[in-house]
Amino acid sequence: PTIHLKDYRPPEFLIDRVELRFELDAEVTRVEALLQMRRNPAATRGDGDLHLDGEQLELEHVAIDGRPLPPAEYRVESEALILHHVPDRFRLETRVRIHPMLNTALEGLYQSGTLLCTQCEAQGFRRITYFLDRPDVMACYTTTLVADKGRYPVLLANGNPAGTEDLGDGRHLARWEDPFPKPSYLFALVAGDLHEVADRFTTASGRDVALRLYVEPENHDKCDHAMRSLKKAMRWDEERYGREYDLDVYLIVAVGHFNMGAMENKGLNVFNAKYVLARPDTATDQDFLGIEGVIAHEYFHNWTGNRITCRDWFQLSLKEGFTVYRDQEFSADMGSRDVKRIADVRTLRARQFPEDAGPLAHPVRPESYIEINNFYTATVYEKGAELVRMQVLLLGPEVFRRATDLYFTRHDGAAVTIEDFVRCMEEASGRDLTQFMRWYSQAGTPELTVTDDWDAADGVYTLTFRQQTAPSANHPSLGPLHIPVAIGLLDGAGRDLPLRIAEDTAEPPSGTRVLELRREEATYRFVGLRARPVPSLLRGFSAPVRVRYDYSDDDLMFLMAHDSDGFNRWDAAQTLAQRLLLRLVAEPEAAVPEGFVAAFRRALTDHEADPALRAEVLKLPSEAHLGEQMAIVDVDGIHRAREGLKQAILAALRDEFRAAYEDHRDAGPYELTPAAIGRRALKNLALGYLMQDGDAEAVDLCTAQFEAGTNMTDVIAALGLLVDAGGAPAERALDTFYRRWSGDPLVLDKWFAVQAASKRPDALARVEALLGHEAFTLRNPNRLRSLVGVFCNLNPVRFHAADGAGYRFLGDRVLELDPLNPQMASRLLQALARWRCYDPDRQARMRAQLERILDAVELSKDVYEVASKTLGEK
């Protein structure tokens, strides 16, 4: 059954108070719920029945105002408890049994290792107790946890601690009170034998907050970075948004089994251990940055998500888009802004653009869904963040801050919609954002075609923009969007020119000017110019669009060298490389132009420039990204062209790469500064090129780095390159690594991942063999992603092997996984979403797997929705 946004109705009942009591046990947990309920005055009256959500619950007891209900007064269905003719105000009491150990879906209450923990977003709370499991029902909760003292010495829930008791029979009890009304998806509890790392934070207004990180005891020495990140995030939110923390404690628990990254439960975040645990020898620079970003993301949710939440799940981007925008800006402030922006746009183009161009395309605010878990997507998260970013650009930072102040005061404690957010932007700025709102309902990536003209006689340069968003079967075009386009014009020396528009009287900005496109076509005339400028378009990636402008190679090299916008310097290099690579796919014999090599040489040897940015510039566009630019993806041609170009670059720049490698090695202790991260990135990029032709000297260098490396960034970079090169050095290194790290699950994930990503022709055979490895299990999402996910998503040339073996492998895994963990199965299946972009033979083989999956009996809603939509649409 499809759920539609247009069918939204306010809840018929409200819940004012919730008292929960858990008798925790891995096999059988009992949950008693006391709900103070009343009819919602704002709702229309239904049939008089009360429908409570509930799944996989065994009802033991149900009473209203203390009176046990006779069977005639209620009905239990597979996904509901229906109470007939309830009063307008009453106290509902239920008791159910649940089975955490059998919960492989990792939604609701489940076991991870020896811990018990919960995941309730989006609709997991209904697997814990009967409830109105929807975000617009907000209540204050108290939670009592009872458990065996030996196995579960630590008992945590939302809010502030409110006492413990020893029950004398080997069990103990802990009570928690959350004074803030919250929707059920923010409920959490954790029980287990956990090591505690404690710290403190004093908020701007002087509230003393106890910060605590809980990890499995063996991870006690991997918590410093997460704790530091949390304190930085708390300070940043005070300074940038005026937002303070509001409880006496802030708790974070790291668990080994988690479907996603982390969860912002009020006062008690539950995290995938991957986003908490780090030591220089176990985690890479990217892992460290990921932790900082996710810790901040979940913390920021306390205001954007928890204090102010979503009215319904169609509004998911209200909290996710805004919170991603906030964490992106936080990371930009903590590290290097240009590097962060490049990384974020890379992700957007690699994940969101394809999603928006395929059968699973949906607007940032979807209009319908079968399974909401399928909508935690790059579109809702990352494109949603871009929509907030555009509004910041339109309003300017000061006005945006006033708008968010208004949003936080006006809607505190409420469940609201995206309109409510945008209305605050409008009121604070006095601007009309009606047209801008289309961005939230329009699926697909807009295309911006730019043409220009130079009038030498009058010194007038004309830019014309045409926007178009291709309609798809389920998503018509809603008309032109309001697009902020930041541009600059460069003179012959590479300097920014003043951007004086003909009919404008005000003093023109000299660097960047933001044009606001509102019509399908718009023309701007820039006057007072002496020579034809080179345009720098969409600076900082000011809108999530594709730009088409016919740059010459020389223009691109010029921008690469001179653009004052760091993002666009990088983007020019990407466009240049992409263009050359696509030419090499079409004509494998074509020569690599001198100018291209020279531009790369300049970038590599430009000692003035930030090494991190140099590394970004020299990284060729991925095979997947190149495939996205072709009407029919030439899997093998792309691989050959890209490997060939790397080879050609190496042949021309071998000495420069050697020098870059040597110059950017660091002796001394590991540092996590942007500068040190940048040096490692450039050094390892250089090593990657040097390893391109399997040169024995390079293999020695790589082996030496692998053996002597004291940080995981260097060790795993070397291991990955050795594995790609193959042979005895690779096998030896894999063996060494396994023996060293087999006891550390997060590091072991990397061992699986480098093999799954291998360029070797036998990659699939290896991956299949690894399925049988004693350390492999489908039941741990991180392990699953590191082997199966990496192979299917990050190894295109092997996954898309012409014989269809990769597709069969994926089909097998999806069918095996679906009964265990539908969310993970459905994620995995999305690797086939772009099946129509391949040649007829591959299409047929992918379609066969999709059909095979759809034919399976007892498919989850998650997989059914993805498989049917993937097959069903042009």
Q: Which residues bind ligand ARG (CB under 6 A)?
A: 121-122, 260, 262-264, 297-298, 320, 373, 376
In angstroms, what CA-CA distances link 517 with 46, 436, 483, 514, 550? Answer: 47, 11, 5, 9, 20
3-state secondary structure 556-603: HHHHHHHCCCHHHHHHHHHHHHHHHHHHHHHCCCCCCCHHHHHHHHHH
User: 309-348: which residues touch Zn ion (CB under 5 A)?
Assistant: 320, 323
Select the binding partner of residue 122 from Zn ion, ligand ARG, none (C-beta < 5 to 8 A, by kind).
Answer: ligand ARG
User: Closer to ligand ARG at the Cβ: 121 or 355?
Assistant: 121
Nearer to Zn ion, 191 or 226 (CB): 226
Residue 73: both structure tokens together:
């007064």
Residue 262 interacts with, from ligand ARG, Zn ion, none (CB under 5-8 Å by kind)? ligand ARG
What is the rounded CA–CA span in Å between residue 138 and residue 469? 38
Q: Is 527 helix (H, G, I), strand (E, B) or coil?
A: coil
Angle between helices 712-725 and 696-708 (to 10 degrees): 150
Q: Select 352 or 373, whichever has its Cβ closest to ligand ARG.
A: 373
Q: Out of ligand ARG, Zn ion, none, which partner does residue 178 contact, by CB within 5 to 8 A per kind? A: none
| CB-nearer residue toward ligand ARG: 122 or 415 | 122
Q: What are 554's two structure tokens? A: 């020389």
Q: Report the 10 Å Cβ neighbour count for 496.
A: 20
Look at residue 355 and give the partner it binds from ligand ARG, Zn ion, none, a contact being a CB closer than 5 to 8 Å depending on partner kind. none
Whether 298 is catalytic: yes
Q: Which of ligand ARG, Zn ion, none lies near 795, with the C-beta cut-off 5 to 8 A by kind?
A: none
- Angstrom distance (rounded) from CA 410 to CA 725: 59
Whether the bond into 33 is cis, omega within 30 of 0 = no
Whether 481 and 467 have beta carbons less than 8 Å apart is answered as yes
- Give whichever of 114 and 347 is closer to Zn ion, judged by the CB atom: 347
Check if the beta carbon of residue 190 is closer than 8 Å to that of residue 268: yes
Q: Are 819 and 858 in contact (CB under 8 A)?
A: yes
Task: Choose among 871, 839, 359: nearest CA to 632.
Answer: 839
Pair 571, 613: CB distance under 8 Å:
no
| Least distance to ligand ARG, CB of residue 590, Å | 45
Active-site entry in 292, 298, 320, 382: 298
Give dist(CA 678, CA 614) in Å, integer.
9
Beta-carbon count within 10 A of 527 CB: 18
SS3 412: coil
- Between 297 and 625, name the residue whose CB sits nearer to ligand ARG: 297
- d(CA 336, CA 615) in angstroms, rounded, equals 14
Closer CB to ligand ARG, 298 or 555, in the complex: 298
Residue 373 binding result from ligand ARG, Zn ion, none, given CB thresholds of 5 to 8 Å by partner type: ligand ARG
Find which of Zn ion, ligand ARG, none residue 147 binds, CB within 5 to 8 Å per kind: none
CB of 866 to ligand ARG, least distance (A): 14
Name which of ligand ARG, Zn ion, none residue 377 binds, using a CB cut-off of 5 to 8 Å depending on partner kind: none
- 129/184 with CB nearer Zn ion: 184
CA distance 275 to 295: 7
Q: At what angle do helices 316-334 and 384-395 cross, to 10 degrees?
A: 70
Closest contact distance (angstroms) between CB of 252 and ligand ARG is 12
Three-state SS annotation for 150-165: CCCCEEEECCEEEEEE
Q: How far is the CB of 197 from ligand ARG (least distance, A)?
A: 21
**Is 497:491 a contact under the CB 8 Å cutoff?**
yes
Q: Measured from the CB atom, is 94 or 158 closer to ligand ARG?
A: 158
Q: Which of the choices Zn ion, ligand ARG, none does residue 263 contact, using the CB cut-off of 5 to 8 A by kind?
A: ligand ARG
What are phi and psi for residue 295, nearest 5 degrees?
-55, -45
**Distance, CA of 569 to CA of 329 (rounded, Å):** 20
Instruction: Outline where 742-860 has alpha helix (H).
Output: 745-756, 763-771, 781-784, 790-794, 796-799, 805-817, 822-829, 840-855
Shortest separation between residue 310's beta carbon and ligand ARG, angstroms: 10
Comparing CB distances to Zn ion, the nearer of 130 and 330 is 330
Strands (E), 412-558: 415-416, 447-455, 460-468, 483-490, 513-517, 521-526, 534-536, 546-548
Closer Cβ to Zn ion, 323 or 445, answer by number: 323
Shortest distance, position 297 Cβ to Zn ion, whole Å: 6
Phi-psi region of 785 (alpha: psi -120 to 50; beta: other; left: phi over 0): alpha
Show the site string, 276-315: x = touches Zn ion by CB under 5 A, - = not.
----------------------------------------
Give me the least distance between CB of 188 and ligand ARG, in Å please: 12
**What does 339 interact with, of Zn ion, ligand ARG, none (CB < 5 to 8 A by kind)?**
none
| Nearest residue (CB) to ligand ARG, 272 versus 795 | 272
Instruction: Give the residue closest to ligand ARG by C-beta.
Output: 376
CB of 156 to ligand ARG, least distance (A): 18
500 binds, among Zn ion, ligand ARG, none (CB under 5 to 8 A by kind): none
Q: Shortest approach of Zn ion to residue 301 CB, angstroms? A: 6
CA 417 – CA 318 distance, rounded (Å): 7
Distance from first CA to last CA of the chain, Å, rounded? 22
Q: Is the peptide bond before 122 cis (omega within 30 degrees of 0)?
A: yes
Least separation, in Å, of the C-beta of 305 and ligand ARG? 7
Shortest Å distance, C-beta 234 to Zn ion:
17
Q: List 30's β-bridge partners, or say none.
A: 23, 97
- Please report how close the Cβ of residue 124 comes to ligand ARG at its closest, in angstroms: 7
Q: How far apart are CA 856 and CA 863, in angstroms?
A: 11
Tokens 């907000």 found at: 138
- In three state form, how does the secondary structure of 392-404 look? HHHHCHHHHHHHH
Of these partners, Zn ion, ligand ARG, none, which one is at the site of residue 237 (CB under 5 to 8 Å by kind)?
A: none
Q: Tell me the one-letter amino acid at 27.
A: E
Q: Which is nearer to ligand ARG, 152 or 381 (CB)?
A: 381
Contacted entry of Zn ion, ligand ARG, none for residue 53, CB cut-off 5 to 8 Å set by kind:
none
C-alpha 136/C-alpha 138 separation (Å) is 6
**From CA 119, how far away is CA 866, in angstroms rounded?**
22
Minimum distance between the CB of residue 113 and Zn ion, rounded to whole angstroms? Answer: 24
Binding site for Zn ion (CB under 5 A): 320, 323
Instruction: Give the catalytic positions in this structure.
Output: 298
